[in-house]
A and B are shown apart, each in its own frame.
Chain A
């Protein structure tokens, strides 16, 4: 129970950590000041949520590690985030497509997690979902603006959606920890979110005059710690201070 709960919490938290790191890396690099601020606000929300999860994970592990140790000192194979969130900011369309494809899932997931029999997870979900509804609104808006914008923005958004589509199916794969936590009433059965997810995605894409990709070829592995080549670079930056100056504190 304890090991499964610990892995389960990390599985949720790592998605937000890595996506938060991606969005946070846009500080000072956003295409306009308002978008720069929006991206870093989203990053801040995600990091805030991550802290709550890691604090709880540290309590469950009870082996002397702190939230910071869990966030900063694991090896690549020990991070359990989905591949989608680690994909690079090829252009702004990719940034927004990645955010949108995750936000729709995140909102559905937190809606269910609020009902968890684990009161800490339910409380984090209730807090986070208010923030995530803003993220979803922002990213959906940009899907529509770019999709239904100029031929150039349309093409870029279609390319981004097509490329990232291959990482969506993994969101609904159940790990062993997932299955165990669903039985306990703690976890969310993600496989049941799939239909609502693709319906919502399709609806927004259609409003945005974008094609819903038909590809049935999907990538997976992140939930087992098998990541794409981008993950190592993210961690190199994320963990830099702790690797260069072990045990440093603010």
Chain B
């Protein structure tokens, strides 16, 4: 979809990739899909980011971290928070999904599977610790707004599942 396409100046990408989500430090804000545009006008950088959830307390920190990273690289960054189009878990990159799994957070399934898991208790989420699908939901709400709490019935480990948001 054209409306959801990011407009990012290529020279800015490495700097943006150096900024990570403070709550999921293995995930860069680029892999998270929250950077919607970044343009360069002389040494002024204009960046638009969008929140994952409305109340995500990480957004203020991300804004400050972006400004600090660009300052270090010799730019002045201006960061705007935009709401439309609304963020979806589809914008997490394949590399981001891999980083989530490696970190111990199960990456979001598709919308239908997510409903089956959260509403009907189907066992479709793979445990990021042992790879078993014998997992169950403990609570729809987890340690942050974007996650649900799960437990693996094979290795018994609790883990977070990143909820599908569309």
Contact = CB atoms under 8 A, between A and B. Distances in A.
The bracket for how many chain A residues form the interface is 20 to 34
Interface string B123-142: 00000000000000011111
A67 to B, nearest CB: 12
Interface string A107-146: 0000000000001101110111011001001100000000
Contact of A123 (B55, B84, B119): B84
A58 interface: no
Contacts of A81: none
A48 B55 contact: yes
B40 interface: no
B141 A41 contact: yes
Contacts of A48: 51, 53-56, 145
B145 A45 contact: yes
Chain B: interface residue count, which band? 20 to 34
Nearest to B115: A137
A137 B83 CA distance: 24
Given A123-B86, A124-B83, A137-B119, A42 B53 contact: no
Interface string B77-98: 0000001111100000000000
B140 A38 contact: yes
A61 B163 CA distance: 37
A38 B54 contact: no
A26 interface: no
A63 B28 CA distance: 38
A187 B143 CA distance: 35
Contact of B149 (A34, A44, A46, A130): A34
16 contacts: A34-B138, A34-B139, A37-B141, A37-B149, A44-B145, A48-B51, A48-B53, A48-B55, A49-B54, A51-B54, A51-B55, A126-B83, A130-B86, A131-B54, A131-B145, A137-B140
B69 interface: no
Nearest to B84: A123
A126 B139 contact: no
A4 to B, nearest CB: 22
Contacts of B45: none
Given A48-B55, A52-B54, A41 B83 contact: no
Interface in B139-161: 139-143, 145, 149
B5 interface: no
A134 B140 contact: yes
A102 interface: no
Interface in A214-247: none
B146 to A, nearest CB: 10
Contacts of B138: 34
Contact of B86 (A44, A46, A127): A127
Contacts of A126: 83-86
A38 to B, nearest CB: 4
A34 B55 contact: no
Contact of A138 (B53, B141, B149): B141
Contact of A37 (B54, B85, B139, B166): B139
A37 B140 CA distance: 10
Nearest to B142: A37
B165 interface: yes
B98 to A, nearest CB: 24
A138 B138 CA distance: 13
Given A126-B86, A130-B166, A47 B55 contact: yes
